[in-house]
Structure formats: C-alpha cells, structure tokens
Amino acid sequence: MSTLLKSAKSIVPLMDRVLVQRIKAEAKTASGLFLPEKNVSKLNQATVLAVGPGFTDANGTKVVPQVKAGDQVLIPQFGGSTVKLNNDDEVILFRDSEILAKINES
C-alpha cells in the first residue's frame, strides 16, 4: 500500500538522511524543439529540501550532515528511497554519505 503525501514539507528526515528533489532537465532543445517527456533524461543534480540532525557514532562523536537545505548536490543515478507526492512530483531520501558532491556555483 502506498501513501501519497501532500508536499515535501511534511517529510522530516531523521538521523543523517537528506531529502532532495531532482532538478528537471529541459524539455526543449537549444533550437527550440520540444522533446517528449519519455526522451528527457534524468539529471544527477538535485536541490536539498531538508536535512536530518545527524547521529552519534560508536565513539560518542556527533556526526552532522555535510549539506544544508537549499544546497545544490550531485546524487547517484540509482539508490535512495523515492517518495511520490500528490502533485506527481518525486522526492528522494539519501543518507548523507551517499551524496556524491556539493555544487558551489561561484
């Protein structure tokens, strides 16, 4: 049984989990042609929506996530836990250690 959530704001990540939303690829080519949705590839770039507080490791050290809400990140092509929302959007939960990189646009 699957449950559709109304929005990503209702999801609060626990421990070192990071909630992200993939950035949608352009459905239009540089010359202005529109591509069918099934031909638009998924990007590995995402926006961080929410981050858990971290966890305490076996040595008693607090481990906090390396990203924060609003960061642009690179995510693996596969993996994570996908959650479908009511408006047909998808968000994905990853562990902080599964995030590949943070994108610094400067």
79 Rama class: left (phi>0) / alpha (psi -120 to 50) / beta: left
Q: Which CATH number fits domain 8-103: 2.30.33.40, 3.20.20.120, 3.40.50.170, 1.10.630.10?
A: 2.30.33.40
The reported pLDDT for the residue numbered 98 is 94
Q: Quick check: 41 pLDDT over 80?
A: no
Average pLDDT of the residues in 92-96: 94
pTM of the model: 0.77
Look at residue 1 and tell me whether its pLDDT is greater than 50.
no
pLDDT of residue 88: 74
